[in-house]
Chains A and B, each alone.
Chain A
Amino acid sequence: MKLIKATALGALTVLACSSTLSSAAPTEQNTVKINAPFEFSSIDPSRSGYVFTRLQVIETLLNVDTQGNLIPGLATDWQILEQGTRWRLSLRDGVVFHNDKPMTPANVVAALKIALQKPGAWQGVPVKDIHVINDHQIDIELNTAYQPLGAVLANYASAILAPEAYAEDGLAQQLIGTGPFSVYELAVPHRAVVEKFDQYWGQKAHVEYARYLTGHRAEARVLQARSGQADIVFGLDPAAVPTLKRLPNLEVVRSDLPRTLVVKVNASQAFLDSVEARQALSYALNRQGIAMAVLRSPEAASAQILPPYMSDWYVADSDSSQNLAKANKLMASLGWQKNSEGWLEQDGQRFEIEMITYADRPELTTVATAIQDQWKQIGVKLNVNITNSSAIPAGHADDSLDTALIARNYGVIADPLGTLIKDIGQEKGGDWGTMNWSNSYVKTTLTELLSETDPSVYRQKAQRIAQAIYDEKPLIPVAYYVQQTAVSKRLQGFRFDPYERSFFLNELTWVK
């Protein structure tokens, strides 16, 4: 009787076992194992195309170099005609899809037209028409000049797939791209294996296979790196970096990227509507302490939202040091006094605000906890609420948001103007930008820059906008986001793309 129960259970496990084990051709030696925090909920480029451009399965017409300038991709060159309302792109020849069919201008136009209707990067681009000119050129006609169109063409949402890849409703159901790797095996949402594509037009890959696995928990990813089960691990929790650095089998690559940890402030909220209050909150931040103790990179502290190398948008003299005295003086000038428990109070109301953040990026919860204590020193009671990232746009839409801690990437589109327009240029600000900030000058100047061609005028207006943001603090920057990646020493030639567009797997080689 006991025997029967044991065999029944045994049979069950064997049956379940066989159904899950896939005998992948990739072996330990020929596969680069990648682990990152981002899930791909579907294979449509508009939804999670960024995973597949990084895995170099799909490519865009234009690419971006490390300084953020546009460089040729599937298009060899591009001319901007008729004051920016017509872009002519000449396509590279000898480009082959993964189904061995050559890429024709008609394929490109079809792919772009599909990408046009989907939400994401193509939002707000005034496209009139896209059509083929001859056997190697296509034209994009715009209703009005749109300077950031180049950056949009470099965005993952405008990746070019073979016609057979799309279903009738325009959603991609098969990833037939042009990149140096083709899809070998897919398990939505957290496992993908790609294989070397020999007819690639550019530099062919040396590595046979690459396997991408989503690791939700930050400490689980660190364990993968330590134990060598993953060769490249993105999104390392800064806390674990010191220990990883001491390990012999891997090295930690630190890279700055145009992503900034920023406190989004609702400028119409009762306590936060005055500039002095926002400046006080900014002075109360101990940015050096956070950068050193939490982010583990002392020089990441910053009082501006954009990095120094975007010189047009970087204000020369900015001070990011903590100044509690000034902060207290500013608060006092607004009529706030500290009550018995040390919280600021004014005619019966306590200075109590909420900060929303999300746990997908490990640094956000720790930085929020640090800010909470620092604002407590000047009497501001901050309640931290860790939920899902969607609560922030929702809070923006119904004005229920006080503050939110976000990690905004201003480099998704190489030139920050596009993002700035989306974040600051709109009437109420942007879901991931300012909120109810009343500064008409900044809004009008931003739209003017769209069609500004003279670099010196462009720079002068950009500087004035940057100065206004720095002074009135509609967004309180905390620090630049530092991306830490663990790379196994059995690989050579890894380089990190600051614009997070590609893993450059085709440049990787095994260490002999």
Chain B
Amino acid sequence: MLRLSFTQKSGLLILALLLAYALGAPLLQSGDATTQNLSQILTAPNADYWMGTDHFGRNMWLRLAEALQLSLMMAALCVLTSALIGVTAGVLAATRAPWFDRLMDGVVTMILALPGLVLVLIFAAIVPGSFWMLYVAISLIQWIEYFRISRAITQRLTQSPAVQSSQLMGFGEWYIFRRHYWPAIAPQLFTIAAFGAANAILMMASLGFVYVGIQPPLAELGLMIVEHFSYYSDAPWLLAQPLIALALVVLACQLMGRGKSL
């Protein structure tokens, strides 16, 4: 259904590779990401530790995989929830009574009053270190993007001849949504979803940076970058791994989002 441009295909490829690594890694090496080995800290990648060990002697091969799993899961969950809420609210705002539209406008202005990160910061401070509170906060901010796009498209389509003719022919609301609104919204959704996923991961990493995000021992890319920063001179690869992983996963999402090369 989706004709992917070259950039989107390369994005998909990178994402597939990362997913394969994230899910495949635990199968290739036994043990879990939190077992420490205090006598083997900061070892460079070698035979039995393919990606070396971190400052607790934990196996980076498994730990990075777990961090990637967390980021991808957060991205997927946030995109799904915000898309669901955003599109339904958008279509309803465009088709239902005007007071609903004004109400949604008020809510949106309120949320947009503060940059997303500040709001998430406050939410994360309430229940520090909980994945679910972060997920709720990020989705709360991201649904607006979907709301605005779907409302704009639906508003334009309600006046269009196609919808008018379907109404004249006696088709119901659900059919009009399925045949007219959804096919127009869907391609746009893909772009926003891809960028939404990228932003969700970036935001979670940023919160890790300000020590409000995830609590130990959970592995998270942003927190890892901060923890490993002080070892940058005697174990540079330790800092490089989460950095590159984060850059790749965000790059993959952004490439997928870019139909034509922006």
Contact = CB atoms under 8 A, between A and B. Distances in A.
Interface of A: 218-219, 222, 237, 239-240, 242-243, 286, 289-290, 292-294, 359, 365-366, 368-370, 372-374, 376, 384-387
A386 B208 CA distance: 12
B217 interface: yes
B153 to A, nearest CB: 33
Interface in B1-48: 34-36, 38-39, 41
Interface in B116-130: 128-129
Q: Give the secondary structure class of B's interface.
A: loop
B234 A290 contact: no
B35 A373 contact: yes
* Chain B interface residue bracket vs A: 20 to 34
Nearest to A293: B38
Of B38, B56, B57, B229, most buried by chain A (CB within 10 Å of CB) is B38
B56 A373 contact: yes
Contacts of A294: 38, 55-56
Of A218, A286, A359, A370, most buried by chain B (CB within 10 Å of CB) is A370
Interface of B: 34-36, 38-39, 41, 55-57, 128-129, 211, 215-217, 226, 229-231, 233-234
A237 B56 CA distance: 15
B55 A385 contact: no
Contacts of A242: 234
A237 B217 CA distance: 19
Contact of B129 (A219, A243, A374, A385): A385
B34 A373 contact: yes
Contact of A293 (B56, B217, B229, B233): B56
Of B57, B226, B229, B231, most buried by chain A (CB within 10 Å of CB) is B229
Given A293-B39, A293-B57, A384 B217 contact: yes
A370 B230 contact: no
Of B41, B55, B230, B231, most buried by chain A (CB within 10 Å of CB) is B230
A386 to B, nearest CB: 6
A293 B234 CA distance: 14
Given A239-B230, A293-B41, A293-B55, A384 B36 contact: no
B215 to A, nearest CB: 6
Given A240-B230, A243-B234, 15 more contacts: A240-B231, A243-B230, A243-B231, A293-B38, A293-B56, A293-B57, A369-B216, A369-B217, A373-B56, A376-B34, A384-B216, A384-B217, A385-B128, A386-B128, A386-B129
A386 B215 CA distance: 7
A359 B233 CA distance: 23
Nearest to A218: B230
B229 A365 contact: no
A365 B38 contact: no
A384 B57 CA distance: 19
B230 A290 contact: no
A372 B216 contact: yes
A386 B211 contact: yes
Nearest to A289: B38
B234 A384 contact: no
B56 A239 contact: no
